[in-house]
Structure 1
Amino acid sequence: MSFLKSLFGVSDNSDAASARQQESDRNFDILKYDGIRALRQGDGDYAVKCLTHALQIKDDGECREHLANAYLQQGDPTAALGQMTVLAESEPDNSALLLRKAEVAYLADAYDVVADTCMTILELAPDNSRACLLYGRAFMAQGNDIQAIAMLTKAISIDEDCLDAYLLRGGLLMKLGDLDGAGADASLLVGKVPDSEDAQLLSARVTAARGQHQEAIEIYNKVIDLNPFCVEAFRERGAIRLALGDKDGAEADMRQVLELSPHELDGTSGDFTAEGREGIQCKVEQNYRNMNPYGF
């Protein structure tokens, strides 16, 4: 047969095409798995290069998802969202994939995309509490507190153990002045996860907003026991201490704030030694007045 092909000038096009396809498949596999290996080793730049070239050879969902993760590892959620959008378009009824897209969109600050995607998810799976939670986060980011509370409440109605929804809703209710509602969410959280820094911090804030200053200080103490690096706890406890006339305690908390977050309080400087103490205290008081969350 090969003699006849040679005699009549007939090339084996099918064999050549098959060989080219095999070579293409081999190159794709090398690039794909080198990219995945690089991603696992934390080399995001090399992973992006390999996976991008692999996708130029062949469209592959797994490869594209890894590329999205590589972009996230590089700190580029917008590029990751582009890859997740292509993936979601290929499987428009895959609610898990859509949820992943919405999560990446949230990281990219693309809140309209989050809202639209979560709406689609809830049409496919009305009982998806994670979609409700993420939808609520998007509303919060857009400043739509009422819609956010409604969506977070829906998440809780679907899954009573959706603790993130309680935490976010409690913070919003406090912001809107509903201390009873915020207190109820804080109490539930503290009851379920007493060692949660976030739950105790919400409880401390609600207690302080109610004017129960000494009780609030005790709760802030718990927060600091749980996390000695919690800037918010030191700052807010210091504001209460200053309001109660405990200038030394307020100054001590300010020291911690400055140590943990040196750039947080513009205009406050000094080494907090005995020399110049009066001037430093004045700066401390002024800064607490400027940032006081409770209006003391």
Structure 2
Amino acid sequence: MGNFLFSLFSSKKEEADGGERKDERKKFDILKFDGMRAQRINRADYAVKCFTEALRIQKDFETMNYLVSAYVATNEPEKALPVLNEMIEMEPDNMELLLTRAHLLFQTGRGAEAVPDCLRAVETDEANPVAGFLLAKARRAAGDFAAAADCLTKVVGLKDDFADAFLLRAEVYLDMQQGEEALADALSAIRLAPEEEAAYLLRGRIQAHLGDTDAAEGDYRKVLELNPFNEEAFLLLGSSLISSRKYDAAIALFDEALEQNEQFARAYVERARAKELNGDKEGALEDLATARKLAAANEEDGAEQPNFDDLYKGGIF
């Protein structure tokens, strides 16, 4: 009798447990596929919620991968990294995961931490130019410029039309104060990608480093021809004009920039500098006040702020 009752209750418990597991599995599937649908209609924020709840029920590699993608889409790489770390623990030899983690580390300003992942990728496939490029990028972030340059020399040997590799090596040479070598690589990048704004911006910076102000300003103007909304080109060209004491030209340039985008806080800051040096202290103070208001509003949105601390030493404050 006792054995009969034991088997009866055990059977009912197993049935109940099985039913709960079935319900949990069904809930997991619903959440996972709702998240996938949300991603397809560009609702990454809702997808994050779905995938997160699904993973509370069950650890699933595919769902974790979807969650990483959703975090990237919502511009939350810091939240994606712990999920990716767990995935790499599950598949430590997955090179795609290692390189994805490297990309996320670059996005979060932690590029030096990507060196081990990039090294493993290069050791696994020495003929992979992308892995070599990322290793060079990580080496540069770690301050090892010579090693970064060596990596990139190998990369362009593997792929001689890799414009980004020439561009990065030009950056590295500029870091090392090797202007002529940097200029040669910038020219190679422009030859390979003649519509690439970043290549002209970099060549302009290199020309400025070499003391050729006219050539530098020509490159910044070329960028504005390619893209009249390129903020960095406005800032670099305006700064060059101010350094050359062409204050009226600088003010006119920033007038143009602000006509296109009245929320451009750094343009107000630079125009204030030009106005102050041109003798218009009242106008400079007005521009600085506007810049500060915009900076305060942008701070609430987490946007990058202009640095007011060392901008002016001419007595505005």
User: Is the TM-score greater than 0.5?
Assistant: yes
Q: Distance in 2 between matches of 1:108 and 1:215?
A: 34
Which residue of 1 is the match for residue 295 of structure 2? none
Deviates further, 118-127 or 213-222: 213-222
Secondary structure, aligned partner of 1:143: coil
Q: Distance in 2 between matches of 1:78 and 1:119?
A: 22
- CA distance change for structure 1 residues 270 and 223 in 2, over 3 Å: closer, same or farther? closer
Which residue of 1 is the match for residue 231 of structure 2? 231
Shift of 1:20: 3.9
Preserved contact between residue 251 and residue 281 of structure 1 (Cα < 8 Å): no
Question: Is structure 2 residue 99 aligned with structure 1 residue 99?
Answer: yes
Question: Is structure 2 residue 142 aligned with structure 1 residue 134?
Answer: no
Preserved contact between residue 235 and residue 257 of structure 1 (Cα < 8 Å): no
Preserved contact between residue 235 and residue 253 of structure 1 (Cα < 8 Å): no
Secondary structure, aligned partner of 1:150: helix
- CA distance change for structure 1 residues 245 and 23 in 2, over 3 Å: closer, same or farther? closer
- The structure 1 residue matched to 2:265, chosen from 252, 262, 267, is 262
Shift of 1:250: 2.6
Preserved contact between residue 186 and residue 203 of structure 1 (Cα < 8 Å): yes
Shift of 1:205: 2.5
Deviates further, 178-187 or 126-135: 126-135
Q: Deviations over 1:195-243 (max 9, x none)?
A: 1111122222233333333333333221110111223323333344445
Q: Distance in 1 between matches of 2:243 and 2:27?
A: 69
| Structure 1, unaligned runs of 5 or more | 292-296
Shift of 1:174: 2.2
Which residue of 2 is the match for residue 23 of structure 1? 23
Preserved contact between residue 137 and residue 148 of structure 1 (Cα < 8 Å): yes
Q: Distance in 2 between matches of 1:14 and 1:54?
A: 24
Secondary structure, aligned partner of 2:265: coil
Q: Distance in 2 between matches of 1:266 and 1:244?
A: 18
Shift of 1:181: 0.8
Preserved contact between residue 93 and residue 124 of structure 1 (Cα < 8 Å): no
Q: Distance in 1 between matches of 2:60 and 2:139?
A: 34
Q: Distance in 2 between matches of 1:190 and 1:154?
A: 20
Q: Distance in 2 between matches of 1:144 and 1:280?
A: 44
Shift of 1:270: 9.9
Which residue of 2 is the match for residue 213 of structure 1? 213
Shift of 1:290: 6.2
- TM-score normalised to structure 2 length: 0.74
Q: Say how many residue pairs are matched.
A: 280
Q: Distance in 2 between matches of 1:165 and 1:32?
A: 39
Preserved contact between residue 99 and residue 118 of structure 2 (Cα < 8 Å): yes
- CA distance change for structure 1 residues 68 and 148 in 2, over 3 Å: closer, same or farther? same
In structure 2, give the amino acid aligned to 1:125.
Answer: D
Q: Distance in 2 between matches of 1:181 and 1:38?
A: 48
In structure 1, give the amino acid aligned to 2:265.
Answer: P
Q: Distance in 2 between matches of 1:258 and 1:139?
A: 38
Which residue of 1 is the match for residue 298 of structure 2? none
Q: Distance in 2 between matches of 1:91 and 1:137?
A: 24
Which residue of 1 is the match for residue 249 of structure 2? 249
Secondary structure, aligned partner of 2:280: helix
| Structure 2, unaligned runs of 5 or more | 285-307, 313-317
The two structures, once aligned, show a CA RMSD in angstroms of 3.5
